[in-house]
Structure 1
């Protein structure tokens, strides 16, 4: 489905670039749609939603690139407690490349939404959840698939990692499912993320 979505999108255009970056990040990062979209244009709040300045690009101990998205508000986090999502290289469906493409196609300020696009007048627009779902559903329907979302990216990413025999504990940590072990392991995971999770897209081709 992710491959079909990318093929169907104009990722050289603002909205297509935004949809693709959101989709790639949500799948590989096992993110909830509420973490990558807003309810409405007026709903965007920099204290709750991802901004351009909430992303960090680095390299781990294996000299492999990764991106870290810092969520200031999350369903499984205590109020005021930050959670981090780690993204690694993934071949032709790479979320890192999708983000870089988004930044090229849709330049924005550090305080603008991470997943944003520009309308015909050049105004920055947040990615609205229901509009994004409708747009993606139209594409997937044309490929003969169903039209229901929810936790599809999050569950789909976790299921894919499990199918590729990634350690369930690594998936739990990366997916930020609650556990006392999270606080202990998260820093070590940041430095070894590619060892566990990168390059899986090419392996499955």
Structure 2
């Protein structure tokens, strides 16, 4: 519901809004952190304009539109460095496509609204001077939360999209082990279940004989 509300509220012809929306979709469906300080995580934003580094963060060249062996399209994002990857090892996020919040459609829109070089930040936009700027965590969350507050909802935080995406998948009956692999988790984090436990319970336990 909140994803669709953001989709309707953001101006996807505006490079900043298009960037925010593409980041939201990839964070939600890819079970990615939206942004953190300190140690490098698999995230969609950076702390500041100067913090961006192609060695640590996603660039346009790290996004690949592919097709699996069954002929189904998907997005693969390759990050050079991630919290859950071994030192020096890349880690990939696999995102299915389709629906009205499709990451491929939104990344394609971002590329059209804000064309940049392959080495530019994947989630980048152009300011009033035409300069390319990476999406920062604070700017993105400020825009997102201004919309959510106007609709009477609470604030979104750095982990909200990752946890929200995992909770949604679990609530739709996706096996916890699949969610664990999709989210690149080394354990089944408890907080992923809390947000939709009633849905998980109904899906998995409603048919149990009484």
Identify which of 106, 119, 124 aligns with 1:116.
124
Number of the residue aligned with 1:20: 21
Deviations 1:27-48 (A, max 9, x none): 0000011311010000000100
What number of residue pairs does the alignment pair up?
A: 179
Superposed CA RMSD: 1.0
Number of the residue aligned with 2:174: 166
Looking at both structures, which has the greater relative contact order when contacts are Cα pairs under 8 Å and sequence separation is at least 6?
A: 1
Shift of residue 150, structure 1, vs aligned partner? 2.5
- Alpha-carbon separation, structure 2, partners of 1:65 and 1:147: 33
> Which ranges of structure 2 fall in alignment gaps of 5 or more residues?
36-42, 188-210
Number of the residue aligned with 2:155: 147
Q: Higher helix proportion, which one?
A: 1
Number of the residue aligned with 2:47: 39
- Alpha-carbon separation, structure 1, partners of 2:30 and 2:61: 18
Is 1:73 aligned with 2:81? yes
Number of the residue aligned with 2:143: 135
TM-score by length of 2: 0.83
Contact 2:144/2:156 (CA < 8 Å) preserved in 1? no
Deviations 1:130-168 (A, max 9, x none): 111111100100111001412100000000000110111
Q: Mean Cα displacement is larger for which, 35-44 or 76-85?
A: 76-85
Identify which of 47, 54, 68 aligns with 2:62.
54
> Which ranges of structure 1 fall in alignment gaps of 5 or more residues?
180-205
**Rg (Cα) greater in structure:** 2
